[in-house]
Amino acid sequence: MPLAIFDLDNTLLSGDSDYLWGRHLVELGVVDAEHYERANASFYEDYRAGRLDIDAFLAFALRPLRDNDPADLHRWRSEFLSKRIAPRIGQPALDLVDRHRRQGDTLLVITATNAFVTAPIVERFGIPHLIATEPERDGAGFTGRVAGIPAFQEGKVARLEAWLDKRDEGLANSTFYSDSINDLPLLERVDHPVAVDPDPRLEEVAHARGWPVLSLHSAPE
């Protein structure tokens, strides 16, 4: 079956779950507010500009998973999903996913944001497959390190190819939806690239190459 691949943050979701998770931790008082908020905002701007140092960012972003009890993390995540994520799941995005579902396509989200944050979000879209940056585990807890290749830029292509190899499948007639210039390597690999509420650099590329440009959000972030 053809693959329908979706980026998550600012594509299916009206907002960036990684950034919003950081804001949630600040609000809960789990992290030092001034330092964390400043660093979180700086990394987010670097991501939007296509210059993110992914190793530095993940060392920052995964530290709260390492430093807190898993039971607390799950409770905070449940609150996060209700308060910050549910309002950002819009009907146009749900309709797009459902259209591909009714066509019989294989549905997959691929995201640089870590799987602890994104797995329950993807479940809310009813999408059965997820490739995300995997936080390394130590028993029930986390080490603060990454397991394997981060699903970022060319890493998304590598992770997807490994996933396809395990399933003995390919990218024939595949579609990929993304908002970000960071996803250009994967957009160039699929048969049907679609820019969704694209950032300025991706919008320029999409228009130059004749790719469809789709809006799912009235006020993209």
Quickly count: other Cβ atoms within 10 Å of residue 212's Cβ: 12
Q: Among residues 9, 179, 183, 199, which one is catalytic?
A: 9
With CA atoms as reference, report the closest residue to 28 among 89, 98, 76: 76
Query: What are the φ and ψ backbone dihedral angles of 143, each rounded to 5 degrees?
Result: -95, -15
* Spatial contact of 124 and 21, defined as CB atoms under 8 Å apart: no
Which residue type sits at 128?
A: P
Query: Is there a catalytic annotation at residue 67?
Result: no
Question: Which of 113, 109, 133 lies closest to 122 in space, CA to CA?
Answer: 109
**CA–CA dist 119, 166 (Å, integer):** 20
How is residue 81 written in tokens?
A: 């999903």
Among 94, 113, 106, which residue's Cα sits nearest to residue 20?
113
Angle 6-12-17 from CA coordinates, rounded to 5° = 105
Set 7, 18, 183, 197: catalytic member? 7
Q: Based on the residue annotation, tell me whether 138 is a catalytic residue of this protein.
A: no
Kindly list the catalytic residues. 7, 9
